[in-house]
Amino acid sequence: MKKQSTTIASIVILIIIAIFALLNTATVVVNLFGARVKTPLVLLIFICLLIGAMTIYLLSFSSHLKTTKELKELQSSRISKDELKRYQKKINQLQKENSQLKQQIKQQDSQKAASPVK
């Protein structure tokens, strides 16, 4: 849905720019790096529009490349199901060991409390 609304908005903006350009058909003098060029205003508007569109495309393309690279890195760092099962077994073993150690500590504390203090 987002892509469709972006496409529709782009088409509307292009139509507005085309109408604006066609209403401005006068010839203008452009100073470009010391050279004076006479060109129709409509052509100048379209050239500026094209330069802006190319700039936006290049910036979004570099962003797309970064995102693709990050996605590939994340996918390569994923663990397999077998590895996940091994980690889960290890976690369960450590939890059992932890509970056993807690029981041992409680028993030692209760023995210390029961033994007479000298």
Q: What is the pLDDT of residues 78-95, one digit of tens each?
A: 777 888 889 999 999 999
What token pair was written down for 64?
């797309």
Q: How confident is the model at residue 32 (pLDDT cuts 50, 70, 90)?
A: confident
pTM as predicted: 0.46
Task: Using the predicted structure, report yes or no on whether residue 97 has a pLDDT greater than 90.
Answer: yes
Alpha-carbon torsion angle 33, 39, 42, 43, nearest 10? -60
Residue in this structure with the two tokens 């010839």, named with its chain if needed: 27
The number of angstroms, rounded, from the C-alpha of 38 to the middle of its chain's C-alpha atoms is 44
> For position 1, what pLDDT does the model report?
65
User: Among candidates 45, 49, 11, which has minimal Cα distance to 25?
Assistant: 45
